[in-house]
Amino acid sequence: MRIVVLAGGIGGARFLRGLKQAAPDAEITVIGNTGDDIHLFGLKVCPDLDTVMYTLGGGIHEEQGWGRAEETFTVKEELAAYGVGPEWFGLGDRDFATHIVRTQMLGAGYPLSAVTEALCTRWQPGVRLLPMTDDRVETHVVVDTAEGRKAVHFQEYWVGMRAAVDAHAVVPVGAEQAKPAPGVLDAIAQADVVLFPPSNPVVSVGTILAVPGIREAIAGAGVPVVGLSPLIGGAPVRGMADKVLAAIGVEATAAAVAAHYGSGLLDGWLVDTADAGTVPGVEAAGIRCRAVPLLMSDADTTAAMARAALTLAEEVRP
């Protein structure tokens, strides 16, 4: 079975670990969000691709959910001693090596997709990890600051400001001109099922879908498209997804996110058992819906979520 998954960082990566356990023989292609990418200290950092790579490759800091295990921060401290920031972005020494290799290869002319493949040679994530595009896309968030309304890089909003102020708009800058990376459209065309893990619907899955051609390919593939809600009981499980949902006028509920993706894209949707009451409403909107436990508390629970998604996919298969 060929499975395509559109993934952000933590939510996507943890789900993928469960999916690998649930479907060990499946050929899994991950289309990763690159809208979070940022240049720091002259280096190209791809937080979501790295979270997937480290999580599936066994190098992730488990409790934190991003960055490397057993990390040290000597380089960052030394940079700070020179007064060089930003100090709000946690780049550890081990992690730095990844960004140095990536930046070196990009500088030598390799596209991000080739660089990602090279990095994965070390990590052996057990999936084919593709960036959504080789072109530069950067998500910006419009916020009010002391100097007035302005757009800041998503990382500055999310990590630097901890999404403490309201977002007025979320703009994937460059997405309109971006082309899907090599392999992306082919993987979708050859897929037996497409899954949206419980990743952020706006700044992860939404950004991937903003690359022209990807949404159309998924909607037109004629295979089941099934998503899992990142919201439980009207709130994100982790992080501040409610802030960016508000910016695009979508309520922070499992049902509202399903409606936002819409029946033109989504065939099936899993909500948590806490949101079982929303199942009839989602189904009335033309999306098959089931309530199952959606907390990725351990490997077996996460694998059960993945199995539920694949079962729902068979139910809705045209």
307 contacts ligand GDP (rule: CB under 6 A)? no
Cβ-in-10-Å burial (0-12, 13-18, 19+) of 241 comes to buried
Select from 37, 48, 95, 275 the one that contacts Ca ion (CB under 5 A).
Answer: 48
* CA–CA separation, 89 and 57 (whole Å): 23
Q: Are 48 and 23 in contact (CB under 8 A)?
A: no
204 contacts ligand GDP (rule: CB under 6 A)? yes
Q: Which CB, 200 or 302, lies closer to Ca ion?
A: 200
Residue 307 binding partner per list ligand GDP, Ca ion, none, with a CB distance cut-off of 5 to 8 Å that depends on partner kind: none
Q: Which CB, 48 or 95, lies closer to Ca ion?
A: 48
Residue 228 half-sphere exposure toward CB, CA atoms < 13 A: 34
3-state DSSP assignment of residue 205:
helix
Q: Which CB, 133 or 229, lies closer to ligand GDP?
A: 229
State which of positions 21-60 bind ligand GDP (CB under 6 A). 48, 51
Residue 296 binding partner per list ligand GDP, Ca ion, none, with a CB distance cut-off of 5 to 8 Å that depends on partner kind: ligand GDP
Name the residue whose CB lies closest to Ca ion: 9
* CA–CA separation, 149 and 132 (whole Å): 30
Select from 125, 198, 206, 227 the one that contacts ligand GDP (CB under 6 A).
Answer: 198
Select from 49, 151, 211, 294 the one that contacts ligand GDP (CB under 6 A).
Answer: 294
Residue keyed to tokens 């899993």: 270
Write the single-letter amino acid at 125.
P
Instruction: Indicate the angle between helix axes 10-22 and 47-57, nearest 10 degrees.
Output: 30
202 contacts ligand GDP (rule: CB under 6 A)? no
Determine the Cα angle at 119 with ends 101 and 227, to 5°: 130
Choose the stretch contacting ligand GDP; rule: CB under 6 A; options: 83-91, 137-145, 222-230, 280-288.
222-230
Q: Which CB, 9 or 174, lies closer to Ca ion?
A: 9
Q: Which CB, 48 or 267, lies closer to ligand GDP?
A: 48
* CA–CA separation, 49 and 37 (whole Å): 9
| Closest approach of ligand GDP to the CB of residue 202, in Å | 9
* CA–CA separation, 100 and 80 (whole Å): 18
Beta-carbon count within 10 A of 72 CB: 11
Residue 260 binding partner per list Ca ion, ligand GDP, none, with a CB distance cut-off of 5 to 8 Å that depends on partner kind: none
State which of positions 240-259 bind ligand GDP (CB under 6 A). 241
State which of positions 10-39 bind Ca ion (CB under 5 A). 36
| Closest approach of ligand GDP to the CB of residue 242, in Å | 9
Q: Which CB, 105 or 272, lies closer to ligand GDP?
A: 272
Residue keyed to tokens 């896309």: 137
Sorted by sequence, the CB contacts under 8 Å of residue 91 that are 6+ apart come out as 40, 41, 45, 73, 75, 76, 99
| Closest approach of ligand GDP to the CB of residue 111, in Å | 22
Strand partners, 133: 180
Q: Which residues lie near Ca ion (CB under 5 A)?
A: 8-9, 36, 48
Q: Which residues lie near ligand GDP (CB under 6 A)?
A: 7-12, 48, 51, 198-200, 204, 228-230, 232, 236-239, 241, 294-296
